[in-house]
Structure 1
Amino acid sequence: MSIYQHFRPEEKEFIDQVLNWQSFVKDNYAPRLSDFLDPREQFIVQSIIGGENDCKVSFFGGNEHAERKRAFLYPEYIEPSQEDFQCTLFEIEYPDKFIHLTHPQILGSLMGLGLRRGKFGDILLDEKRIQFLAASEVTDYIKLHFHTVGKTTIALAEKSLDDLIGSQEEYQEIQATVSSMRLDTILASITKISRQKAVSLIQSGTVKVNWRLVEQPSFVVQQGDLISARGYGRIKILLIGDQTKKEKWRITVGKLK
């Protein structure tokens, strides 16, 4: 049985990458560190590596509530430490009395540096404080090139991970029973809107799965997916359980508003 049939066709390239990481650890008896991964990617890594003895995996992205985390694959003789994940915490200093910076503005400016999204972890906002995590290997590049968010001049202060502001993303765990794993069905069930409204939201381009725009109501949602719908918050698919006698799916999701 092919490992690929358990995942989406478009995920094949990432699966191949995970398998290469696994082979590296086994062949060299040495660890391998990934970029920051989204929840679905973390799920794929855990699914492939989770039961291995010769290659184990741990995740870290600043704290236990982090959404984006780096995966550290390692042989069993290693005991992973926080330092192994090579995460650098930056705090953005800006004229907060006059300027209000948003998450999309910060992410857009970071992506404008020409680095992959995987080089950045979560962006955290707490009242007037703004922090973001970055892969330590690009720390010097960020210091050299990241001086503005939009038209606002900023300064960067490198912080200890102990200074990480608390994650604002608290998810409410919800158990539900759904007739199918279609995107429109999941969205309607968890947000308590009509199926017709869910279809309209998806087709109007306001719904993303794992940060990618999805406009097909029939898109099949899988465990580990993160759904975001404009005006309705975020939904994490934590667990897809078994089917009921009426062939409905028992699922557990985390809902953030």
Structure 2
Amino acid sequence: MIENVYQHFRKEERPFIDQVTGWVRECEDQYTPYLTNFLDPRQVYIVETIVGKRSGIKIYSFGGYQMAERNRLYICPEYFIPKQEDFEVSLFEIRYPIKFTKLSHGKILGTLLSTGLKRDYFGDIISDGERWQFFISDSMKSFVQIQIEKIGNVTIRFVEKTYLDILKPIDSWTIVQETVSSMRLDTIVANLFNISRQRSKQMIESGKIKLNWSEITQPDFELGILDIVSVRGFGRLQVQEIEGKTKKDKWRIKFGVLHK
């Protein structure tokens, strides 16, 4: 059965598929719910595909707010309906001297990861243009508060907030329909951000582009549904829907684009 699942996904996604299969089996065998760490949209898609229409199992998700990109999932028997607090998601606001310095998503994420924690302990990092907040697994909030006193050279402190205090993020995705010659990473980045294919390739090979928050250096990597690509200096794109091919054998794709 697992081989049938593998054929629908990338070879490098097999370790995650094995992990998900283990979560599902645990839920089925022990009849108990399983709470994941924060997953990106592509990972959520894989979980939903594997669980599919399995009888007696449901999936619930929560990332701290309605439009969250990164979510924790509950894979659970039908009897279990999780409450918001069951997802164990906390919200921190970063207090820093706003008048004298600026923070960025990259600096904040880099500092959080410098603690040695994996990305999946952290949810979205959001901002209203001045203030910054991020979501974190309950189990790691005390550790992070103790470990981090600065972001770069800026002295900061983390203040825990309730869900009533969530910022309204200024980020807004623009939905665009594009026809592209292939699903290659360098082709799509060049098309969506209006740069040359050669420049796109150079940016990928020099580590300036991330796929689902991880560095990627393969220009010929083929993107799939719900992949998120971050392009340093330009913004982000997401493959939201693959609509099929044209008569000229090109791909019709719906993208979300977030310009810097």
TM-score (norm 2): 0.91
Give 1:52's match in structure 2, choosing from 48, 51, 54: 54
- Partner residue, 2:38: 36
- Partner residue, 1:89: 91
User: Which runs of structure 2 are paired with 1:123-134 in the superposition (5 Å)?
Assistant: 123-134=125-136
Deviations 1:107-162 (A, max 9, x none): 22211222221111111222331111100111222233232222332222111112
Greater displacement, 94-103 / 219-228: 94-103
- Partner residue, 2:137: 135
Shift in Å, 1:101: 2.1
Relative distance call for 1:151 and 1:194 in structure 2 (3 A) is closer
Relative distance call for 1:154 and 1:201 in structure 2 (3 A) is closer
Deviations 1:212-257 (A, max 9, x none): 2223221111112111222221110111222233322221111111
Aligned-pair identity in percent equals 44
Relative distance call for 1:101 and 1:13 in structure 2 (3 A) is same
- Partner residue, 1:227: 229
Relative distance call for 1:201 and 1:154 in structure 2 (3 A) is closer
What SS does the corresponding residue of 2:64 show, helix, strand or coil? coil
Query: What CA distance in whole angstroms lies between the structure 2 residues aligned with 1:143 and 1:214?
Result: 30
Aligned-partner residue type, residue 167 of structure 2: I
User: Which runs of structure 2 are paired with 1:101-250 in the superposition (5 Å)?
Assistant: 101-250=103-252
Query: What CA distance in whole angstroms lies between the structure 1 residues aligned with 2:206 and 2:110?
Result: 22
Relative distance call for 1:150 and 1:193 in structure 2 (3 A) is closer
Instruction: Note the residue ranges of structure 2 that are not aligned, 5 or more in a row.
Output: none
Aligned-partner residue type, residue 72 of structure 2: R
Relative distance call for 1:81 and 1:204 in structure 2 (3 A) is same
Query: What CA distance in whole angstroms lies between the structure 2 residues aligned with 1:36 and 1:99?
Result: 30
Aligned-partner residue type, residue 15 of structure 2: E
Is the 1:183–1:217 contact (alpha carbons within 8 Å) kept by the matching residues of 2? yes
Is the 1:92–1:156 contact (alpha carbons within 8 Å) kept by the matching residues of 2? yes
Shift in Å, 1:208: 1.9
TM-score (norm 1): 0.92
Greater displacement, 195-204 / 216-225: 195-204
Give 1:14's match in structure 2, choosing from 9, 13, 16: 16
Query: What CA distance in whole angstroms lies between the structure 2 residues aligned with 1:196 and 1:139?
Result: 43
What SS does the corresponding residue of 2:222 show, helix, strand or coil? coil
Relative distance call for 1:226 and 1:31 in structure 2 (3 A) is same
Query: What CA distance in whole angstroms lies between the structure 1 residues aligned with 2:112 and 2:217?
Result: 27
What SS does the corresponding residue of 1:2 show, helix, strand or coil? helix
Query: What CA distance in whole angstroms lies between the structure 2 residues aligned with 1:92 and 1:174?
Result: 33
Query: What CA distance in whole angstroms lies between the structure 2 residues aligned with 1:247 and 1:191?
Result: 22
Query: What CA distance in whole angstroms lies between the structure 2 residues aligned with 1:172 and 1:42?
Result: 22
What SS does the corresponding residue of 1:43 show, helix, strand or coil? helix
Indicate yes or no: 2:66 matched with 1:64.
yes
Is the 2:129–2:170 contact (alpha carbons within 8 Å) kept by the matching residues of 1? no
Instruction: Note the residue ranges of structure 1 that are not aligned, 5 or more in a row.
Output: none
Query: What CA distance in whole angstroms lies between the structure 2 residues aligned with 1:193 and 1:139?
Result: 41
Shift in Å, 1:105: 2.0
Aligned-partner residue type, residue 175 of structure 1: Q
